Amino acid sequence: MSNMSHDSVSRRDFLRTTTCGAAAVGLGAMATGTLAAPTASKPATTFKKPPLPYGKLGRTGFPVTLISFGAIRISERLGTRITKGVIDAGVNLIHTSASYMGGNSITAIADLFRTDKSYRDKVFLCLKSFNPDSEKEIDEMLKMLGTDHTDALLTTFEKADPRRLEAIQKQQEALIKKGKLKHTGFVCHGDMHGVMELTLEKAPKFFEVTLLAMRMLPLGKDKTSDDSTRFLKNLKAFRENGIGILSMKSGAKGAVEQGADVFLPHAKAVLDAGCNSVLTSVNSFEQIDMIKTLDLKSRHMTDDEKKAAAAFLDDRPQACLMCARCRKVCPQGLPVNDLMRIRMYNDEYGWPDHARSEFSTLSLDAKRLACACGDCTTCTQVCPIGLAGAGTVRHVAEMFV
């Protein structure tokens, strides 16, 4: 599944037609289109209350459990059993995509839905999609899952491009009319500030759900920055507009693996910052048992919990903020932020298969990429955490040579 963005085409052209260290292809200016009208509100629906602590997912009104399931790492029979275990534990939102684990994630969930159709009705299903110009990928995912609709569609929205926003709106409105979609949504791990601010300006009431990278939350000690202040301001505006906020890339995966003493304070901190649910990639039955025991009825954090949450975040100094500054300045038009996220999947998360799968969506030639930067230092100069740079780009490229 590929992301057919304009710059992906430019990058492909660049890497196909130039030699190492050669000059770059510039990106053309984006035209601004007319935006469609916001989606009309849905009639009120009665939802079953879950057994685990929950809150309202924005204007959807859905009582989402405070911990939800990101099925990014599941596959085969174990994946099906994990999904069943998560839902049996009371978690009521799951997120998957045909791109996860080379299609194995969605297949594992489909196997559960096929075996027992009631499981489909127990969850708020979120699907990630890449191409707002075609319904094919949505139809294929729905067919695979044996369902006629998804509860939310999280279309990738990585750059503050009004044309992309317009295309997403147009597609999602059409899907709602056809009954294939209940609630509008998008996912962003790119230009977080730009995308949030464009949405607030052009379509403040259109989206009902969003999945956002939360690395800019000021959760560690001394973490308040211009980025965190701006991010929190936009997050607050989203919530005021009734957009349900799902968190990702907060570090939840690592926190879950360290057990309740780390995950509970982390989850409380993320929820307290303004998220409705912490999406996490549970992958063992021990983790499911732990989630069942979490006391999230109160968000109050003791001093020890505050210290634990801050210490966990401070232990990840090289976790990408997902600010996309590096990408914006790259004279080669390289998707530097995506490459840094792929580094994270491989080096921090230990998910080489997922890193490879994500790399394949970029349509880059790894050999050429390995020597594309030359002695350029442009992205290094703007990266607030000193992560982006020619060396890191080469490191990522060499994973796939």
Exposed / middle / buried, residue 125 (Cβ in 10 Å: 0-12, 13-18, 19+) = buried
The helix (run of H) or strand (run of E) holding residue 256 is helix 252-257
CB of 278 to ligand SF4, least distance (A): 21
Q: Judged by CB under 6 A, does residue 11 bind ligand SF4?
A: no
Instruction: List Cα–Cα distances, 264 to 253, 278, 299, 306, in angstroms.
Output: 12, 11, 10, 10
The helix (run of H) or strand (run of E) holding residue 353 is helix 352-361
CB of 391 to ligand SF4, least distance (A): 9
- Give 109 or 362: the residue with its C-beta nearer to ligand SF4: 362
- Give 72 or 323: the residue with its C-beta nearer to ligand SF4: 323
CB of 305 to ligand SF4, least distance (A): 27
Of the residues 323, 342, 369, 396, which one makes contact with ligand SF4 according to CB under 6 A: 323
Which amino acid would we find at residue 114? R
Sign of CA dihedral 66, 233, 171, 128: negative
- List, in order, residues 6 or more apart from 122 with CB less than 8 Å away: 87, 92
CB of 72 to ligand SF4, least distance (A): 19
Piece of 60-68, 114-122, 287-295, 335-343 that binds ligand SF4 (CB under 6 A) = 335-343
CB of 249 to ligand SF4, least distance (A): 11
The footprint of ligand SF4 on this chain (CB under 6 A) covers a number of residues equal to 28
Q: Judged by CB under 6 A, does residue 334 bind ligand SF4?
A: yes
CB of 16 to ligand SF4, least distance (A): 17
- Give 247 or 332: the residue with its C-beta nearer to ligand SF4: 332
Q: Judged by CB under 6 A, does residue 321 bind ligand SF4?
A: yes
- Give 82 or 344: the residue with its C-beta nearer to ligand SF4: 344
Question: Considering only residues 117-136, where is the footprint of ligand SF4 by CB under 6 A?
Answer: none
Question: Considering only residues 340-359, where is the footprint of ligand SF4 by CB under 6 A?
Answer: 340
Instruction: List Cα–Cα distances, 130 to 101, 134, 366, in angstroms.
Output: 16, 9, 22
Piece of 49-57, 67-75, 116-124, 370-378 that binds ligand SF4 (CB under 6 A) = 370-378
Contact pattern from residue 371 through residue 390 relative to ligand SF4, giving x for each residue in contact according to CB under 6 A and a dash for the rest: --x--x-xx--xxxx-xxxx
Of the residues 129, 147, 150, 332, which one makes contact with ligand SF4 according to CB under 6 A: 332
Of the residues 255, 336, 344, 396, which one makes contact with ligand SF4 according to CB under 6 A: 336
CB of 307 to ligand SF4, least distance (A): 25
Exposed / middle / buried, residue 186 (Cβ in 10 Å: 0-12, 13-18, 19+) = buried
Which amino acid would we find at residue 129? S
- List, in order, residues 6 or more apart from 305 with CB less than 8 Å away: 264, 265, 268
Structure tokens at 169: 């709106």
Distance, CA of 219 to CA of 399 (rounded, Å): 31
Sign of CA dihedral 390, 391, 396, 400: positive
CB of 22 to ligand SF4, least distance (A): 11
- Give 30 or 371: the residue with its C-beta nearer to ligand SF4: 371
Structure tokens at 382: 């703007």
Residue listed under structure tokens 């307290």? 272
C-alpha 294 chain-centroid distance: 24
Structure tokens at 48: 């079953």
Distance, CA of 207 to CA of 200 (rounded, Å): 10
Strands 277-280 and 67-70: parallel
- Give 35 or 371: the residue with its C-beta nearer to ligand SF4: 371
Piece of 32-40, 151-159, 160-168, 336-344 that binds ligand SF4 (CB under 6 A) = 336-344
Q: Which residues form the interface with ligand SF4 (CB under 6 A)?
A: 320-326, 329-332, 334, 336-337, 340, 373, 376, 378-379, 382-385, 387-390, 393
